[in-house]
């Protein structure tokens, strides 16, 4: 990597400038609310101009580490109990976030938190606030060069961008401050495989221009590919560290982070730690799905509570015909048709902005269709309000999750059972016997679902304190609690490690097969999709470009071009346009 001299004037402090790292974290201890210890004595250092990756499962403390560096711990009730964070010889711990930015450390937060009500251009402008006005124009040009689509959409409100575009905007906004060190939290989250290659290219390019990067990324193959050094966090401790190449070849990292599901999806760059051909991972997903089936079986069977005739809704066929959705002048979906036969698992894939989430939003009644029909059983869904659709046994999860973060997991799950609750205002208010009985039946049921998804230990905790991956499972659990006949999942494994994604696939498949429910899943993790889906529909720019079994779709040249990129065969790496 190029060794550009550090900008700024922080060089006075050090007597030995040669091998002093750019970022040094020493014996860092972080806890939330004084009780939950999240980081334990973590020490690591990142050389100037390097790309470093932090790997680890959900809850390992990766995001917390970034927060400790960027000064945003106080926003989540966290605090540094001991240790230090030093950047270019300057202590960062104890500084507030706005000051840290001015030292040259910029964090791009997880979940693309762009300012939705501001335009794209205003978002970039906000990113450039720490710099003098003159130097911003060139910065903005640089961002537009990296992400041409942002230039096209610069006058639009950022909230209307697709997930992938929002991620680009978030990174671009971070670059506007011309950081010496960029902290990226899950940049590839929810991005199409082809888009991930682009992000990898962008990280390499940012680094080439002289910015060091610390990357937290669930797609370990992608992360290790672009990194010089890597660190593995486990339960708040630094478990492994070393050159990225060495770690990529170590058995431990292979098994836990590269091993099965993960790699296959993004698999771009030719010399990535080579995984097995993409059949193998999908096979692995399938196997583990099968293996979890047994114990699940009795668990989810219809609820003990009486009078719940609405429960265990028999799945119906869902038929989408000629669906078109327009927002003002933009056509988000154009004449899309597909059918989900009762009890099958159907995947909807496509590049970011292809209209996948829009499609789910129409099915669940959040958006109105401009034309076309969606029939579920005997009902025309396009004319029904969301709560009515939910009552028919259609349940969903959200891409960006929409849990009540201040409430406990248990309360969120109970909310999922809302449609099954019969107790009236009076009987519940007076806490009469039938209401009590119903309540305890519902609580039993949510415990079962929680056990299935391995979140039973979190039931009493507020969602706010849970790491991303656990929230993801809570969201799925809430949808399952409604005992749906048709389940709509928007990116259920985004942001999970290979291992976790396999487990999630297992749980999803088991639940679907056992309850015989139909599933429509939007997901970028190809191993997951190819492993679980019976049928796949591919969208691009709002149109259906392919439709068929996973095997057919995977070989469809149109799909390779638009979505999978250099995926299977063909020369790697060049598709990043």
Residue 40 dihedral angles phi and psi, to the nearest 5° = -125, 110
Give the nearest distance from C-beta 333 to other proteins in angstroms. Answer: 14
Contact predicate 397/476, CB 8 Å:
yes
- Beta strands 486-490 and 518-522 are parallel
Residue 7 or 113 having the CB closest to other proteins? 113
Greatest alpha-carbon span in the chain: 78
Q: What's the rounded Cα separation, in Å, for the pair 427 and 64? A: 45
In the complex, the residues that contact other proteins under the rule CB under 8 A are 70-72, 75, 96-98, 101-102, 106-107, 109, 113-118, 122, 125-127, 129-130, 133, 157, 159-160, 162-163, 173-174, 176-177, 357, 361, 366, 398-400, 402
Give the nearest distance from C-beta 117 to other proteins in angstroms. Answer: 6
Which contiguous run of DSSP H or E holds residue 64?
helix 62-70
Q: What's the rounded Cα separation, in Å, for the pair 188 and 15? A: 39
Residue 474 or 553 having the CB closest to other proteins? 474
Residue 458 or 478 having the CB closest to other proteins? 478
Q: What's the rounded Cα separation, in Å, for the pair 560 and 355? A: 18
Residue 221 or 369 having the CB closest to other proteins? 369
Residue 119 or 241 having the CB closest to other proteins? 119
Give the nearest distance from C-beta 365 to other proteins in angstroms. Answer: 11
Cβ contacts of 283 within 8 Å, gap of 6 or more:
531
Cβ contacts of 389 within 8 Å, gap of 6 or more:
363, 364, 365, 376, 381
Residue 275 or 490 having the CB closest to other proteins? 490
Residue 179 or 377 having the CB closest to other proteins? 179
The strand order across the sheet containing 371-376 reads 330-340, 318-327, 371-376, 379-380
Give the nearest distance from C-beta 334 to other proteins in angstroms. Answer: 19
Q: What's the rounded Cα separation, in Å, for the pair 396 and 268? A: 31
Q: Exposed/middle/buried for 221, CB within 10 Å: 0-12, 13-18, 19+?
A: buried
Give the nearest distance from C-beta 64 to other proteins in angstroms. Answer: 14
- Beta strands 229-234 and 51-55 are parallel
Give the nearest distance from C-beta 418 to other proteins in angstroms. Answer: 18
Residue 183 or 505 having the CB closest to other proteins? 183
Residue 107 or 445 having the CB closest to other proteins? 107
Which contiguous run of DSSP H or E holds residue 108?
strand 105-108
Residue 75 or 425 having the CB closest to other proteins? 75
Q: What's the rounded Cα separation, in Å, for the pair 182 and 176? A: 11
Residue 70 or 566 having the CB closest to other proteins? 70
Residue 53 or 70 having the CB closest to other proteins? 70
Residue 163 or 236 having the CB closest to other proteins? 163
Helix (H, G, I), strand (E, B) or coil at 66: helix
Q: What's the rounded Cα separation, in Å, for the pair 57 and 554? A: 29
Give the nearest distance from C-beta 161 to other proteins in angstroms. Answer: 8
Count of CB atoms within 10 A of residue 2's CB? 8
Give the nearest distance from C-beta 52 to other proteins in angstroms. Answer: 19
Residue 106 or 529 having the CB closest to other proteins? 106
Structure tokens belonging to residue 167 = 């991620």
Helix (H, G, I), strand (E, B) or coil at 558: helix
Give the nearest distance from C-beta 165 to other proteins in angstroms. Answer: 11
Give the nearest distance from C-beta 516 to other proteins in angstroms. Answer: 27
Give the nearest distance from C-beta 131 to other proteins in angstroms. Answer: 9
Q: What's the rounded Cα separation, in Å, for the pair 10 and 29? A: 26
Relative orientation angle of helices 468-481 and 433-452, to the nearest 10 degrees? 130
Q: Which residues lie across from 46 on neighbouring strands? A: 23
- Beta strands 330-340 and 105-108 are unpaired
Give the nearest distance from C-beta 331 to other proteins in angstroms. Answer: 16
Residue 480's nearest CA partner among 560, 399, 415 is: 415
Give the nearest distance from C-beta 370 to other proteins in angstroms. Answer: 18
Give the nearest distance from C-beta 157 to other proteins in angstroms. Answer: 7
Contact predicate 450/456, CB 8 Å:
yes
Structure tokens belonging to residue 56 = 């680890």
Structure tokens belonging to residue 2 = 């190029």
Contact predicate 502/492, CB 8 Å:
no
């Amino acid at each position: 990597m190029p060794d550009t001299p550090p900008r700024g004037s922080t060089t006075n402090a050090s007597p030995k400038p040669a091998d002093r790292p750019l970022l040094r974290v020493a014996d860092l201890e972080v806890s939330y609310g004084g009780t939950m210890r999240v980081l334990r004595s973590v020490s690591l250092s990142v050389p100037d101009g390097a790309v470093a990756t932090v790997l680890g499962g959900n809850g390992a403390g990766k995001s917390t580490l970034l927060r400790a560096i960027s000064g945003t711990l106080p926003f989540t009730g966290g605090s540094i109990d001991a240790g230090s964070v030093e950047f270019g010889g300057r202590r960062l711990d104890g500084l507030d976030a706005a000051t840290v930015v001015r030292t040259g450390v910029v964090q791009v937060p997880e979940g693309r938190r762009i300012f939705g009500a501001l335009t794209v251009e205003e978002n970039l402008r906000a990113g450039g606030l720490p710099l003098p006005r003159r130097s911003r124009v060139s910065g903005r040009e640089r961002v537009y060069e990296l992400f041409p689509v942002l230039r096209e959409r610069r006058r639009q409100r950022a909230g209307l961008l697709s997930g992938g575009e929002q991620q680009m905007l978030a990174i671009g906004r971070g670059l506007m401050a011309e950081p010496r060190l960029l902290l990226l939290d899950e940049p590839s989250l929810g991005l199409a495989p082809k888009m991930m290659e682009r992000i990898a290219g962008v990280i390499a390019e940012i680094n080439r221009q002289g910015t060091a990067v610390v990357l937290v990324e669930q797609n370990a193959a992608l992360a290790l590919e672009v990194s010089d050094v890597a660190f593995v966090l486990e339960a708040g401790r630094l478990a492994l560290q070393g050159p990225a190449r060495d770690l990529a070849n170590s058995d431990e990292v292979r098994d836990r982070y590269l091993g099965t599901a993960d790699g296959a999806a993004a698999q771009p760059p030719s010399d990535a730690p080579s995984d097995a051909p993409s059949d193998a991972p999908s096979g692995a997903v399938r196997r583990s799905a099968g293996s979890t089936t047994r114990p699940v079986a009795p668990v989810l069977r219809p609820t003990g509570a009486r009078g719940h005739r609405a429960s265990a809704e028999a799945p119906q066929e869902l038929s989408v015909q000629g669906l078109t959705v327009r927002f003002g002048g933009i056509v988000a979906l154009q004449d899309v048709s597909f059918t989900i036969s009762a009890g099958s698992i159907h995947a909807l894939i496509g590049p970011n902005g292809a209209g996948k989430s829009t499609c789910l939003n129409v099915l669940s009644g959040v958006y109105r269709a401009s034309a076309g029909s969606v029939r579920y059983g005997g009902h025309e869904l396009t004319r029904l309000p969301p709560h009515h659709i939910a009552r028919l046994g259609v349940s969903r999860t959200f891409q960006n999750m929409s849990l009540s973060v201040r409430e406990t997991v248990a309360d969120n799950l109970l909310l999922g059972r809302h449609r099954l609750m019969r107790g009236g205002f009076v009987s519940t208010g007076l806490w009469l016997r039938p209401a009590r009985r119903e309540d305890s039946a519902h609580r039993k049921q949510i415990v079962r679902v929680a056990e299935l998804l391995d979140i039973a230990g979190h039931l009493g905790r507020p969602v706010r304190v849970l790491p991303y991956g656990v929230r993801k499972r809570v969201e799925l659990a809430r949808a399952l609690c409604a005992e749906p006949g048709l389940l709509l999942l928007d990116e259920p494994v985004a942001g999970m490690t290979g291992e976790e994604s396999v487990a999630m696939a297992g749980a999803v498949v088991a639940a679907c097969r056992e309850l015989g429910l139909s599933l429509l899943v939007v997901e970028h993790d190809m191993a997951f999709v190819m492993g679980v889906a019976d049928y796949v529909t591919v969208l691009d720019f709002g149109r259906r470009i392919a439709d068929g079994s996973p095997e057919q779709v995977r070989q469809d040249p149109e799909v390779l071009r638009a979505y999978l990129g250099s995926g299977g065969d063909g020369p790697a790496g060049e598709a990043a346009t």
